Amino acid sequence: MSGMRGMGDRSGTGSTSGPRGTRRGTGARAPRPPRALAALRERLRDSFWFTPAAGLVGAVVLWLALSELDTRIVMYFQQEGAYEELGDLLTFAADARTIVTTVSSAMMTFIGVVFSISLVAVQMASGQLTPRVVRIFVRSRISKLTLTVFLATFAFSLLVLTSYEGGPEPDPRRVMSAPLLQSLLTLGLVGLSLLLFVAYVSSTLRLMQVGPVLDHITRESLRSLARQPVGTQDEPPPGARTAYVLHREDAGVLRGVAVGRLVRAAHRHGVVLRLVPRIGDFVVPGTPLLAVHGGALPPRSALRRTVTVGVERTVYQDPAFGLRQLSDIALRGLSSSVNDPTTAVQCLDRIVQYLAVAVRLPLAPLHHRDRRGDVRLVQRVPGWTELVDLAFEEIRWCAATSPQVTRRLLAGLDDLLLLASEERREPLLRHRALLVEAVERTVPERAGRAFALRPDRQGIG
């Protein structure tokens, strides 16, 4: 499908979800931005260039505005004949010139050193945890804000240097402009840069710690889970399939869909659309992307810019991606090259936290409706069994020889069994039985098996 990139909003659609803005599991109503703005915000957060570029443009605009204000200030003092006061201001500007010159010459070197060290830290974190933690750095607000202020300070100080008159002591009666406000703002930007540097170093150090990274992944995943509408199993099938919409763009991961635009397109053409792949699936050109039910294939122009395909998954419309990251970090901790079962236990803590929220949700296919209440778009989401398998299957295979992990895994499964309804206990019981079998098969000593199969929320303290 030519041009099917970008995410639109879901405004103007109904769905099987409850009232908008309600966070499930808490019963509290939380304000949300319009979904068109939320989708745009997610795209900008995944880019590292927009905020620094906007900061550079803002620095130029601010310099132009302050240059005009400085000119008016000098002209005002000259018109009033207050040459003594103006001379004091010009002396201050001349003294600040040394600082501005130093800042302009040193800031770019400072930026290069700081971010070179940061990239090394990110590389170490990705090697110890998972390469997918790099996206945390890319999406970090403090990282973007720090780079923006650093670059803006550098650019602004260069522009301020062009505003200085020749000579160390300009004559108040002849000078037409002096960088008074510009010098003050440069000093302010230097102070802000130093404060942001401290905050940025602290944030980067947290990125190298397991606990804060896991907490960030979990909170982001739970927010994505709360944004997902409530599905239902009792909807009738959409009818006979009449056509397929094929993917005609580059191969990549399906990152999101513009539900509102798809619903409006289906309503205009009197059809029901069904999203064939799930969010997070890898799609290649020529494979079905949308199935059309009950009518003719909508024109290509009606479906333009309704699907986002990228090079990697994102958690915005893909809550299961968080479990994938937690599982990856746990598996790396259990690998023979790393051998860090405590990291795996910390991952299991967060996995159980995530599933304790998901166990109360319907997790059924989503049926998005138009304003008249007719189903226009059907979307599959991971079910409870699929989430449990994603969370525990690979970890269980690697955990049999690590009593710390088996004890924590058993405790987590027991906790989830207490929360799960009767129809959701089967996958949890299956994983528990398979874990017990794996330990009994791997550990020959009876005492060792008994120790490894004793549930413990801390593993081994």
Full set of structural domains in the chain with CATH = 44-208 (no CATH), 234-461 (3.90.1170.30)
Instruction: Give the number of other CB atoms < 10 A from CB of residue 167.
Output: 9
Segment 265-270 mean pLDDT = 92
Q: Which of 38-42, 184-188, 197-201, 270-274 has the lowest mean pLDDT?
A: 38-42
Segment 147-155 mean pLDDT = 92
How far apart CA 450 and CA 250 sit, in angstroms, is 53
pLDDT of 98 over the 70 cut? yes
Are 300 and 319 in contact by the 8 Å Cβ rule? The answer is: no
Are 452 and 443 in contact by the 8 Å Cβ rule? The answer is: yes
Segment 237-257 mean pLDDT = 89
Q: CB burial class (10 A; 0-12, 13-18, 19+) of residue 373?
A: exposed
| E strands in 40-87 | none
Are 305 and 259 in contact by the 8 Å Cβ rule? The answer is: no
Average pLDDT, the chain: 84
How far apart CA 337 and CA 181 sit, in angstroms, is 58
Tokens 């607000």 identify what position? 141
Tokens 């989430």 identify what position? 387
Residue 221: which H helix or E strand, with range?
A: helix 210-227
How far apart CA 340 and CA 334 sit, in angstroms, is 6
| E strands in 103-154 | none
Are 72 and 163 in contact by the 8 Å Cβ rule? The answer is: no
Q: Mind listing the pLDDT tens digit for each residue in 8-20?
A: 343 344 444 433 3
For position 175, what pLDDT does the model report?
52
For position 4, what pLDDT does the model report?
41
Select the more confidently predicted residue: 431 or 295.
431
How far apart CA 22 and CA 405 sit, in angstroms, is 36
**Residue 332 is which amino acid?**
R
Are 6 and 309 in contact by the 8 Å Cβ rule? The answer is: no
Segment 170-179 mean pLDDT = 57
Are 323 and 384 in contact by the 8 Å Cβ rule? The answer is: no
Instruction: Report the interhelical angle of 180-207 vs 141-161 (nearest 10°).
Output: 150
| Edge-to-edge order in the sheet of strand 252-257 | 282-283, 252-257, 307-310
Instruction: Give the number of other CB atoms < 10 A from CB of residue 288.
Output: 16
Q: How confident is the model at residue 288 (pLDDT cuts 50, 70, 90)?
A: very high
Select the more confidently predicted residue: 427 or 183.
427
How far apart CA 250 and CA 244 sit, in angstroms, is 18
For position 412, what pLDDT does the model report?
97
Longest dimension (CA), the chain: 99
Q: HSE of 371 in the Cβ direction (CA atoms, 13 Å)?
A: 6
pLDDT of 40 over the 50 cut? yes
How far apart CA 211 and CA 225 sit, in angstroms, is 21
**Would you call 243 helix, strand, or coil by DSSP?**
strand
For position 31, what pLDDT does the model report?
40
For position 119, what pLDDT does the model report?
83
For position 166, what pLDDT does the model report?
52
- Show the tokens assigned to 293: 């039910």
Q: CB burial class (10 A; 0-12, 13-18, 19+) of residue 442?
A: middle
Q: How far is CA 65 from the centre of its chain?
A: 35
Give the angle 333-337-342 at the CA atoms, nearest 5°. Answer: 25
Q: DSSP characters for 275-331? A: E-SPTT-EE-TTSEEEEEESSPPPPGGGGTT-EEEESS--SSS-THHHHHHHHHHHH
Q: How confident is the model at residue 28 (pLDDT cuts 50, 70, 90)?
A: very low
Highest mean pLDDT among 69-73, 137-141, 314-318, 358-362: 358-362
Q: Mind listing the pLDDT tens digit for each residue in 42-61?
A: 777 777 888 899 999 999 99
Select the more confidently predicted residue: 427 or 239.
427
Tokens 């989708």 identify what position? 39
**Residue 66 is which amino acid?**
L
Segment 434-440 mean pLDDT = 95
